[in-house]
């Protein structure tokens, strides 16, 4: 049986609920004041950090060493960054479809964060898998489940990188419909890709 931090895992439902409440409060404050307050931003950020810390703590025992534990934590952070940047970019893209006169700088930043996070994740995940107990190298870790490894590479690395890479120049050209469509494709690949990455982590840790 996998060594999971049971108390931390048990707290995830509470932390998820806390994040939902913080997000709802943020929406209400923004709607009433027509702008977000510093307090609502801080509350939402704190709830997000707590949830991410809870997930990291729950998976921490999967690593076989302190360095591996840090790598697992970084994988969780990068996964959150990829999902957050992709979601933000896609939602911003829809906003630009109805208000195309807006500056494209925020959307360019979201795409840039997505690309950087995808590249870092593509480098760190195999290194983390190779450092887990039960695996001797990156190759042997990935070979424990070749199908999962290939699907992860497609969903979490190759397809999102292609879509986000194409979205960057289209955004610079202010072709927001194309940009939004490409980010939509990136999201379609990223969601199962991140799940497959977590599943691959469990497969390697249990070997």
Q: In the chain, how many domains are there? A: 2
- List Cα–Cα distances, 147 to 143, 186, 197, 199, in angstroms: 9, 21, 12, 12
> What pLDDT is recorded for position 89?
93
> What pLDDT is recorded for position 131?
75
> What pLDDT is recorded for position 64?
67
pLDDT bin (cut points 50, 70, 90) of residue 139 is confident
| Mean pLDDT confidence for 164-193 | 94
pLDDT bin (cut points 50, 70, 90) of residue 130 is confident
Domain limits for position 171: 64-206
**Is 129 in the same domain as 173?**
yes
pLDDT digits (tens, 9 = 90+) for 82-125: 999 999 999 999 888 888 888 999 999 999 999 999 999 999 99
State the Cα–Cα distance between residues 207 and 202, nearest whole angstrom: 9
pTM score, whole prediction? 0.83
**Is 57 in the same domain as 68?**
no
> What pLDDT is recorded for position 36?
64
**Is 88 in the same domain as 118?**
yes
| Mean pLDDT confidence for 156-181 | 94
| Mean pLDDT confidence for 32-41 | 76
> 44, 62, 80 — which closes off a domain?
62
Alpha carbon 140 to its chain centroid, in Å, reads: 25
> What pLDDT is recorded for position 70?
83
pLDDT bin (cut points 50, 70, 90) of residue 163 is very high
Residue 164 and residue 115 in contact, taking contact as beta carbons nearer than 8 Å: yes
Residue 194 has pLDDT above 70, yes or no: yes
**Is 49 in the same domain as 91?**
no
**Is 10 in the same domain as 73?**
no
Using the structure block, give the residue that is written with the tokens 């950090």. Answer: 49
**Is 194 in the same domain as 111?**
yes
> What pLDDT is recorded for position 34?
67
pLDDT bin (cut points 50, 70, 90) of residue 2 is low
pLDDT digits (tens, 9 = 90+) for 43-84: 888 998 898 888 888 877 777 677 777 888 888 889 989 999
C-beta neighbour count of 98 within 10 angstroms: 8
Written as six digits, the tokens of 196 are 């497959």
**Is 56 in the same domain as 71?**
no
**Is 73 in the same domain as 49?**
no
Residue 174 phi, psi (nearest 5) = 60, 30
Alpha-carbon torsion, ordered 153, 159, 165, 167, to 10 deg: -150
Written as six digits, the tokens of 77 are 């952070």
- Least confident stretch, 105-114, 141-150, 151-160, 162-171: 141-150
**Is 26 in the same domain as 128?**
no
Residue 148 and residue 203 in contact, taking contact as beta carbons nearer than 8 Å: yes
**Is 48 in the same domain as 69?**
no
């Amino acid at each position: 049986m996998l060594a999971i931090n049971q108390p931390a895992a048990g707290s995830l439902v509470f932390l998820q609920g806390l994040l939902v409440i913080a997000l709802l409060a943020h929406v209400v404050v923004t709607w009433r004041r027509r702008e977000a307050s510093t307090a609502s931003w801080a509350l939402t950020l704190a709830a997000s950090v707590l949830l991410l810390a809870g997930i990291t703590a729950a998976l921490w025992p999967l690593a076989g060493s302190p360095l591996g534990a840090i790598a697992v934590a970084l994988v969780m952070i990068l996964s959150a960054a990829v999902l957050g940047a992709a979601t933000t970019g896609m939602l911003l893209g829809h906003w630009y479809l109805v208000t195309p006169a807006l500056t494209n700088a925020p959307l360019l930043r979201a795409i840039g964060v997505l690309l950087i996070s995808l590249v870092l994740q593509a480098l760190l995940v195999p290194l983390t898998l190779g450092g887990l107990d039960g695996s001797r190298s990156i190759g042997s870790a990935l070979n424990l489940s070749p199908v999962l490894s290939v699907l992860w590479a497609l969903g979490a690395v190759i397809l999102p990188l292609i879509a986000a890479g194409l979205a960057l120049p289209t955004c610079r050209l202010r072709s927001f419909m194309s940009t939004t469509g490409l980010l939509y494709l990136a999201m379609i690949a990223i969601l199962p890709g991140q799940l497959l990455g977590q599943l691959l982590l469990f497969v390697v840790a249990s070997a």
